[in-house]
Structure 1
Amino acid sequence: DTGMGFERLCMALQGKSSNYDTDVFTPLIEKVEELSGKKYTGKLDDEKDIAIRVIVDHIRAVSFAIADGQLPSNGGAGYVIRRILRRAIRYAFTFLGQKEPFIYKLVATLAQQMGGAFPELDKQYELIKNVIKEEENSFLRTLEQGLLMLDTMMNNATEKVISGSKAFELYDTYGFPIDLTALILTEKGFTLDEKGFEEELQKQKERSRAAAQMKTDDWVVLREDDEEEFIGYDTLEGIVRVTKYRKVESQKDGTLYHLVFNVTPFYPEGGGQVGDKGLLVSANGDVTYIIDTKKENNLIIHLSETLPMNIDEPLKAEVKGRILAEANHSATHLLHQALREVLGTHVEQRGSRVDTQSLRFDFSHFQKMTDEEICEVEKRVNDRIHQKIALQEHRNITMQQAMDAGAMALFGEKYGDRVRMIQFGESKELCGGTHVKNTSDIWYFKIVSEGAVAAGIRRVEAITRDRVRQYFSDLEEQADKLSELLKSKDLVKQVEKLLEENNALKAEIEALKKEKAKGEIQNWKNDFLDKGDKKLLVKRTSLDAGTVKDIVFQLKKEVPQSVVVILSDAGEKPMLTVGVSADIEDKYHAGNIVKDLAKEIQGGGGGNPGFATAGGKNLDGLANAEKKALEL
């Protein structure tokens, strides 16, 4: 009632003046000190101390959220988690000098501290740690890329001001934080056109608002005495009445009508399964197409581009194509069971998508599945399909009954007191979706891809029924075409032969390149210009980047006090390569030279005192870059 949270209660009981001085936070603060080498002093206005407080607070919020099933993402609640975590990463990067992932190392301390009170921290420890580490790696790459671009902007700037549009490009396209941009610019003696940035930000918001703008009319109520009832578990058709409807207009979807019936066989999108599509047929044969079905405020909403002509009359509702979605949905249950058997019981569902074309299943696992594991999973699913296992539907049982029966619950999902359990033999899952009556209705199951979607999360995509037949038919057709092209029925042997020939040709090309490079080195050694304190070589070429690099390293090694500038147009793309011999690196810096020259080709790059490269967009700018290089 007082609004006093756990941390403030600890502060009061322990006689501390700050939440961060209590033993709720001190173990995490001490771990940050150990990892960063920075000492926490508890000052309110010290940037280092502020950063440490942000990190220990945010690691708690993010870890508990991930343990509860919410992974970072680009939308919804997941985006909030991503932003919280990125704020912590940014503070570590900016104020603690952490250029490598380190926040994930705090999870062990948090789990040790809070695991007893919140067991999910221990149970999901590997997942939490790996997700945070992957997010750190990803955002640190973003920061590194943003810093390079910001460096290029400053090098190309004619004044000490970076425009709002340029800063917004960094922010919008690359996710580079605007406050970090402003901080770096200030350190470098530049200013940010904040007004211009805000104008660009406002334009983006207006574009987003316009795209999302939706005009929704009030419901037109036709009858109030009928309560909506879902009958789609038992039938694909029925006689329905429209109880109310409304018109919805949006820039994205145009004009649609939302219809609510007294009873409906149409399944609304949910549990990873797409909403049903189908028809409404009037007594005189007029047809209205239902293009999607969704749920809103416990109402099943049927979407149509037109209204039924006789909207007050009873209509025959017919669901079309659901068997395909049902086959894919039931296959995900068999897939889940097989994955746990083959990979281990640590496998838990992390999301799914089921439609009439294919299925997608996300699950917890920390390494790529081997070909043998994929084959074994496929075999087990297909074995159960061929065993013709009948569906056992437990439509309205208590949560405790389901748990006692060994039902799998979706990680992070919230359930009521009464649930629906779907059973195919030993596979038992809580599920509200629609399913085949027998596994034989799935026909065939084929995994078409397996890959990572996040740290510790893998994704399997698969197909069933006619899609499998079509898949193998397409493969057979491709094999026939390859046989015709290769003039051989033994495709494997012929491809192996081609690869051997290709590798031999590659080796021959590399040998020729090296031979050509040797010749260029000998020729170019005679073309150095004596510039007093250095020998300068500036050359235009069409050699590839690898060959140019080898030449530059060899020349700066063989020619003392040398600065080598090679301008290449290989592949019609401008490329600058600069080398400085070790004996004059204290006077000349290859990285600085290449940054200055890169302005002429509208590009950027960098490197160290001895070697640097830059790419650009303006091929014609190589001429000006060459003139500027000759003035070194």
Structure 2
Amino acid sequence: MKSQDVRSTYLRFFEDKKHSIVPSAPMVLKDDPTLMFVNSGMAPFKEYFLGNAKPKNTRLTDSQKCLRVSGKHNDLEEVGYDTYHHTLFEMLGNWSFGDYFKKEAIAWAWELLIDVYKIDPDILYVTVFEGSNDGDALEMDQEAYDLWKEIIPEDRILMGDKKDNFWEMGDQGPCGPCSEIHVDIRTPEEKVLVSGKDLVNQDHPQVVEIWNLVFMQYNRKANGSLEVLPNKHIDTGMGFERLCMVLQDVKSNYDTDVFTPIIREIETITDTEYGKDAEIDIAIRVISDHVRAVAFSIADGQLPSNTGAGYVIRRILRRAIRYGFTFLDKKEPFIYRLVSVLSKKMGDAFPEIKSQRQLIENVIKEEETSFLRTLDQGLVLLDRIIETTKGKEVSGDKAFQLYDTYGFPIDLTALILSEKGLELDEKGFNEELQKQKQRSRAASEMSTEDWIILIEDAVEEFVGYDHLEAQVKLTRYRKVTSKKEGEMYQLVFNLTPFYAEGGGQVGDKGYLEDAKGDVVYILDTKKENNVIIHFSKNLPSNLNAAFTAAVDTKQRSRTECNHTATHLLHQGLREVLGLHVEQKGSAVHSKYLRFDFSHFSKVTPEQLRDVEDFVNARIEGKLDLEEHRSVPMEKALEQGAVALFGEKYGDTVRTIRFGQSMELCGGTHVKNTADIWHFKIVSEGAVASGIRRIEAITNDAVKDFYSENNRAFFEMKDLLNNAKKPVKALESLKDENTALKKQIESLLKDKAKNLKGELANELTEINGIQFLAKKIDLDASGIKDVAFELGSKHKNLFLLFATAEADKAMLTCYISKELVKERNLNAGQVVRELGKLIQGGGGGQPFFATAGGKNPAGIEQALYQAKNYIQ
């Protein structure tokens, strides 16, 4: 069965069981601080499990893109070395939110596997939670056991401990026992030697888990205790790639048609053959896996970068590049060429990979080019480390610096050292790595207490589109402590006018005030799993009081101006540059806006002016806001609303229109474009290949901008003696300055020419060496010219020149190449040692080097000691 059919069969099966098919959510999470990426099928539905929102249908099914490369669920280092772990994988899932439970989940799982997919029941094992004797004191899942023994022999039902058969989304939150279904695809001969039940959960490549049925019935609290959930849920996840392995009767996920087209392309590009050499096979598996993870992340809006989720994506891609560089001998970009195959294979199921193909290719190619340069630089630096290493072991500290500062892979360092007969101090390296991890953990360490519930079953409502002030009640709160922020409180109200950070727009600030006039300041507002959370340094003195919640109106107004301007900017860019322009990210603050967009060349000054004029024309046009809430998604798109890749939209959406600009947007906006006052672009540049960034300002910030420029203009006029035409006066000064510089250069050349003769006459012979150490009055360029000119006319020459200016000193050493070779003299060593006398340092080549310092008083001593090198 082809992989496309495996996926569609699963979805159709559960659609027949009254499940709604939902599309895969973007992998990059926007409102869950506990996760960078969707790492399991249930992650996009946390708000339903937590009771923070209600799904349109209590039964859902999907194929969810997942990424496991950080945190608790991290499979990165296994990828490539075994045949069944992946960074990116698809999780086929069926979900029940307070609807059916264990009986239906188990019966339907068996029906699908046996009756629909036609898997031989004799190769399947199931596991059931055996209970625990720890603090939770959980009993065995007898209900699941009894259900399973009705459909499978009891000797194929295995007991599993908490590690394998009790699923938790994290340190806190919904959890419960689970039943895993494992498959044994070994040969009959192998099965005779060892029973499959002895290999379940033992990391055997042909005895693997394919489906996990999680029975969500508890909630894990911050203090570690469990409480029973009011509603019981089903959360199942089946590994799509592993299922394809079983149904296509192969022994490895990489032998399925999910991967074989990519592997064939790698073989063609690298002139290698998969299946012949273990190291090459690992490299090919790494690359074929990682290109999927990186491509889908870029399609979902996450570009490689140096921080956060972007750093993780860059790390995955660099791992792939490194394996190609080391084991496939690819010293030029090639991974980007695999995207076309990936697009053809998965573009129908995931259209974003097809529509974003050009961008993905460009970004990957640029990253490859950049990292290959880094590898080249690292090789040079490693050579220097090897040259200066005494003995057979390279220190872990130096290897860590190479890894940490330049991104040079440690395993590549170890490989090169072994080829040169050296060893790596792995213990020292690991100690440095652990220190760095501890510093990183300490910086981000945070503890979150349980929610204190003040009002049971309270429903939260956002009223901030219509009101900036509201009477509210505190429904729950919790304390959060972090090293960075200290002690903070998170507050939730029955309703709120505060906009929570989202869609690029910052969260509102403001205050709470009770009837007595006591004030608590709201420092930020964010959304977590569909709950609007307000951050404060203090709790109200009376938690049960009624409060006036008031938004900082000035900040909100400025932010709204910038948010509306991003919509107009998006429209203007598409109008001026073309319809290929798509938003790739935005940041809307009260002081400025930042807008990232797809475009494959620098935006010219003329085009920027046209875009700026386009936006300002809409501001001057005084366009009213047309807002529509709870519009069916399909209808909004039919009406021409622009949706953004990487955003998660519900069944109903909010549309924002200003004239011809219409977008899906949950942010806040001005009532009329005239409120923006004016729009000004302050910068434009590249973020990544094919991604440009514009930063701009509006309203008060533009007024400040022009006021500052106006002040600077009059200061300039004053310096120009109030010239009536200051631009012309500046041009005249510029021309005059250029002419004077040429005169000075000419004079310096004449001075240097005259000086050469004088200096030649001052040369003295010491031990067969023509020597001169002297303080002279020339710039660095002139000194170099003089030194090389004298060197061309005199053999066995040793020169040390010094210059001084205010609190700066410079030494220049020239040594004839004959002396460098015959007498083992080194100009770089000379200036490094003598540079200490002027409180500085430097270096260079053996025949020419310079040093700078901040102590001109040391020049005389340096000149005096120069003789020591030749006497």
Compute the TM-score of the two structures, normalised by the length of structure 2. Answer: 0.62
- What is the CA distance between 1:224 and its match in structure 2? 1.0
Q: Using a 3 Å threshold, how does the CA distance of structure 1 residues 121 and 551 change in structure 2: closer, same or farther?
A: farther
- Residues 1:362 and 2:600 aligned together: no
1:217 to 438, 444, 449: 449
Q: Which residue of the partner structure matches residue 54 of structure 2?
A: none
Question: What secondary structure does 1:285 align onto?
Answer: coil
Alpha-carbon deviation of 1:565?
A: 7.5
Distance in 1 of aligned mates of 2:424 and 2:265: 39
Shift in Å, 1:478: 0.7
The 5-angstrom pairing of residues 33-432 of structure 1 reads 33=271, 39-40=272-273, 42-46=275-279, 51=283, 54-95=286-327, 101-103=332-334, 106-107=337-338, 110=341, 114=345, 117=348, 120-121=352-353, 123-157=355-389, 161-321=393-553, 322-432=556-666
Between stretches 455-464 and 155-164, larger displacement belongs to 155-164
Q: One-letter code of the match for 2:565?
A: A
1:158–1:287 CA distance, 2 compared to 1 (3 A): same
Q: Matched residues in 1 for 2:415 and 2:734: separation?
A: 53
1:508 to 743, 747, 751: 743
Q: Residue 604 and residue 366 in structure 1: after superposition, are their counterparts in 2 closer, same or farther (change >3 A)?
A: farther
- Is contact 2:561–2:669 with CA below 8 Å preserved after alignment? yes
Task: Give deviations 1:341-372, integer Å, cap 9, x for gaps.
Answer: 01111111111111211111111112222221
Equivalent residue for 1:5, pick from 205, 221, 241: 241
Q: Distance in 1 between matches of 2:365 and 2:775?
A: 43
Alignment of 1:422-571 (within 5 A): 422-487=656-721, 488-519=723-754, 546-547=781-782, 550=785
Q: State whether residues 629 and 653 of structure 2, in contact with CA within 8 Å, keep that contact through their aligned partners in structure 1.
A: yes
How far is 1:331 from its partner? 0.8
Cα distance 1:175–1:400, how it changes in 2: closer, same or farther (>3 A)?
same
Q: If you compute each CA radius of gyration, which structure gives the higher value, 1 or 2?
A: 2
TM-fit CA distance, 1:420? 1.2
Counterpart amino acid of residue 718 in structure 2 = E
How far does residue 319 in structure 1 lie from its aligned partner after superposition?
A: 0.9
> Measured at CA, do residues 428 and 88 of structure 1 come closer, stay the same or move farther in structure 2, by a change above 3 Å?
same
> Residues of 1 paired with 2:545 and 2:613: CA distance?
51
Residue among 21, 29, 32 paired with 2:270:
32
Q: What percent identity do the matched residue pairs reach?
A: 52
CA contact 2:560–2:670 (8 Å) conserved in 1: yes
1:53 positional shift: 5.3
- Hey, what's the Cα distance between the residues in 2 that align with 1:281 and 1:220? 21
Is contact 1:274–1:355 with CA below 8 Å preserved after alignment?
Answer: yes
- CA deviation vs aligned residue, 1:186-209 (integer Å, no higher than 9, x gap): 445544332222222222222222
| Structure 2: gaps spanning 5 or more residues | 1-112, 114-209, 211-238
Tell me if the contact between 1:408 and 1:428 (Cα under 8 Å) persists in the aligned partners. yes
> 2:450, 2:478 within 8 Å by CA — same for their partners in 1?
yes
Alignment of 1:536-615 (within 5 A): 546-547=781-782, 550=785, 572=809, 580=817, 600=833
- SS of residue in 2 equivalent to 1:5: helix
- 1:116 and 1:187 map into 2 onto residues whose CA distance is 43
SS of equivalent residue, structure 1 residue 499: helix
Distance of aligned partners of 1:253 and 1:622 in 2 relative to their CA distance in 1, 3 Å threshold: farther
Structure 1 counterpart of 2:241, one-letter code: G
Give the secondary structure class of the aligned counterpart of 1:241.
strand
Given residue 616 of structure 2, which amino acid in structure 1 is its aligned partner?
A: N
Alpha-carbon distance, 1:529 to partner: 7.3
1:565 and 1:629 in contact (8 A); partners too: no
CA–CA separation in structure 1 for the residues paired with 2:774 and 2:360: 52
Partners of 1:594 and 1:612 within 8 A in 2: yes
Deviations 1:405-454 (Å, cap 9, x if unpaired)? 11111122222221111111111111111111111111211111112222
- Residue type matched to 2:560 in 1? E
Of stretches 521-530 and 340-349 in structure 1, the one that deviates more from structure 2 is 521-530
> How many residues were matched structurally?
615
User: TM-score with structure 1 length normalisation?
Assistant: 0.84
Taking the aligned partners of 2:359 and 2:823, their CA distance within structure 1 comes to 45
Partners in 2 of 1:299 and 1:216 — Cα distance?
16
Residue of structure 1 in register with 2:180 after alignment:
none
TM-fit CA distance, 1:58: 3.3
Unaligned runs of 5+ in 1: 34-38
Q: 1:108 to 1:617 in 2, by over 3 A?
A: farther
Moved more, 161-170 or 430-439: 161-170
Q: In 2, Cα distance between the equivalents of 1:287 and 1:83? A: 46
The structure-2 alpha-carbon separation of the partners of 1:285 and 1:22, relative to structure 1 and needing over 3 Å to count, comes to: closer
Larger mean CA deviation between 170-179 and 409-418 belongs to 170-179
Per mean C-alpha deviation after superposition, the further-off stretch among 480-489 and 540-549 is: 540-549
